[in-house]
Copies of this chain bind each other. A is one copy, B any other.
Amino acid sequence: MSSDHLVAPADATNLPIARLTLHEQIVTRLRDMVTDGSLPSGQRINEVAVGEQLGVSRTPLREALKTLAGEGLIELVPGRGTVVRKFTLQGVADALEVLKALEQLAAHRACAKATDAEIEMVLNLHRRMMDCYAARDRLSYFKLNQAIHSAILEIAGNPTLARMHQMLQAQMKRIRFIGNERAEKWAGAVAEHEAMAAALAARDGAALAVLLGQHLDNTLERVRDAL
């Protein structure tokens, strides 16, 4: 047997291979199902039905539901199971307010400590996002948008901050997704992103924080009638 088999194949990274438990996989699947609407908000989740649909037993499914409840995506009603959380306008406003505080903190930190390579990476994401806007590719735009915000949070280098942000972002994902449907709203968001990219390139944390704040304030307006 040639020793080639002992070295990593060409496409392998050196990262430890992902050891996903069933529980974790279910968590991400359910998160996606909430985002894409196959689990409508307010819907009661039937454990046996969803379990069969995903091909898993109730045990890991229930564990996943507990995790998602901790993230605030669903709610546990004792004796009556779980329902997908329903957002009121006020609830969204509240969440966006917290998101704003977190992202502004991240903005200051990120601008202060980002390497040139990291900034270039974000700007690259931004350019690709703009291409998607030009092509009116809403789904790709949306994913890159989230990636940019997450990247800034990563660069800030505060794992706790990143965790909290991800939780909130997951909650808002569904609503934001339906939010940018109207063309003029989308255009507005794009303009804001241009300004934010410029502030980041200039490492102007204060300016970036202000722009992020405005962006999120406007987000509330954009998603207003998506409820």
Which chain A residues have a beta carbon within 8 Å of chain B's beta carbons? Answer: 19-21, 23-24, 59, 62-64, 66-67, 69-72, 76, 78-79, 91, 94-95, 97-98, 101-102, 104-105, 158-161, 163-164, 167-168
Q: A62-B63, A98-B105, A164-B164 are in contact. Are A19 and B79 (CB under 8 A)?
A: yes
In the complex, chain B residues whose CB is within 8 Å of the CB of A91: 159-160
Provide the bound-state CA to CA distance between A45 and B76, in Å.
25
Closest B residue to A165 by CB, please name it.
B98
Which residues in B have their C-beta under 8 angstroms from that of A101?
Answer: 101-102, 104-105
The answer to whether A98 and B161 have CB atoms under 8 Å apart is yes
Q: CA–CA, A168 to B161, complex, Å?
A: 10
Q: Assuming A21-B78, A94-B158, what are 7 further A-B pairs, CB within 8 angstroms?
A: A19-B78, A21-B76, A64-B66, A67-B70, A94-B160, A97-B158, A164-B168
CB distance from A62 to the nearest CB of B (A): 6
Interchain Cβ contacts under 8 Å between A and B, 6 examples:
A21-B79, A62-B63, A67-B70, A69-B70, A70-B71, A94-B158
| Whole-angstrom CA separation of A168 from B160 in the bound complex | 9
- Determine if A105 and B94 form an interchain contact, defined as CB atoms under 8 angstroms apart: no
- How far does the alpha carbon of A67 sit from the alpha carbon of B64 in the complex, in Å? 9
What separation, in Å, do the CA atoms of A194 and B59 have in the docked complex? 50
What CA separation (Å) do A181 and B181 show in the bound complex? Answer: 56
Smallest Cβ distance from A210 to chain B, in angstroms? 16
Contacts of A63 in B (CB 8 A): 62-63, 66
Q: Are B161 and A66 in contact, CB atoms less than 8 angstroms apart?
A: no
The residue that A160 contacts in the complex, of B24, B98, B163, with Cβ under 8 A, is B98
Q: 10 nearest interchain CB pairs?
A: A70-B70, A94-B158, A19-B78, A66-B66, A95-B160, A94-B160, A101-B105, A63-B66, A101-B101, A66-B67
The interface residues of chain B lying within 8 Å CB-to-CB of A163 are 72
Measured between beta carbons, the chain B residues less than 8 angstroms from A70 are 66-67, 69-71
Q: How far is the CA of A108 from the CA of B160 in the complex (A)?
A: 23
For A94, list chain B residues within 8 Å (CB). 158-161
A158 to B163, CA, bound (A): 19
**Neighbouring B residues of A104 by C-beta, 8 Å:** 101
